[in-house]
Amino acid sequence: MELTNKKTVLVLLCFRPVLAICVASAPITASSPVPPPISQSLTAASSDPQIKSLCAKTEYPDLCLTTIAPFFNGKTDIASVVEMLIKAGTEQTKQANATATKMAADPKYADDPKTISGLKGCYEMYDDALDNMQNAMDTIPVYDIGTIETMVSAAITDYGTYDDGFTQQPNPVPDGVSPMVDIDENLQNIGSIILAITDLMH
């Protein structure tokens, strides 16, 4: 049950080309506490009219619902929803870091040192993003909306900086695209959802 849940979280993280790589790797060990089963919590989150209407105000309503789902605690005030989203973003950032770690050790990149160093270079970007997410989280109770926005924006920049750094190298991978690009785009989209909902705190 627990394992199935972790796999589901992992699959949600991985889209298109990265999917094959991620599914091929062993499931990532999620940090505790383990969120409730996604199918159940997704229903709870997406059948809640307030959550639905908040998510509808973002650029990615479906991603908003699936992101909140594992962290949905029944609260629907805007600050609580921002908190759930930041928790989700934090968890997904940790999983992205773990995915990058696994990819860096993947034999398919064994004779591709630039890709490996590119992947390793992202650890500190994710660490920085996690610091920024934590700072945003710490600021929710005092409703310092400007700081939340600054911190989440900084995390969004972190996710993009890594991919830029990757593509700046001369042909690090054949098509010049980071193998983490879809995961990082998803993290950036989650960041944009957080900003959109934080804006509603005004």
Ligand X SMILES: *[C@@H]1O[C@H](CO)[C@@H](O)[C@H](O)[C@H]1NC(C)=O
Residues that bind ligand X (CB under 6 A): 94, 97, 101, 123, 126-127, 130
Compute the least distance from the CB of residue 97 to ligand X, in Å. 4
- In angstroms, the CA 54 to CA 172 distance is 40
Find the Cα–Cα–Cα–Cα dihedral 189, 63, 10, 88, rounded to 10°.
Answer: 70
Residue 181 neighbours by CB under 8 Å, 6+ apart:
18, 163
Residue whose CB is less far from ligand X, 63 or 130: 130
Residue whose CB is less far from ligand X, 64 or 89: 89
Residue whose CB is less far from ligand X, 71 or 126: 126
Q: Which position has the token pair 């080309």?
A: 17
Residue whose CB is less far from ligand X, 73 or 161: 161
Amino acid at 155: A
- In angstroms, the CA 118 to CA 167 distance is 9
Compute the least distance from the CB of residue 31 to ligand X, in Å. 8
Q: Which of 195, 194, 191, 183 is nearest to 103 (CA)?
A: 183
Compute the least distance from the CB of residue 177 to ligand X, in Å. 21
Compute the least distance from the CB of residue 99 to ligand X, in Å. 10
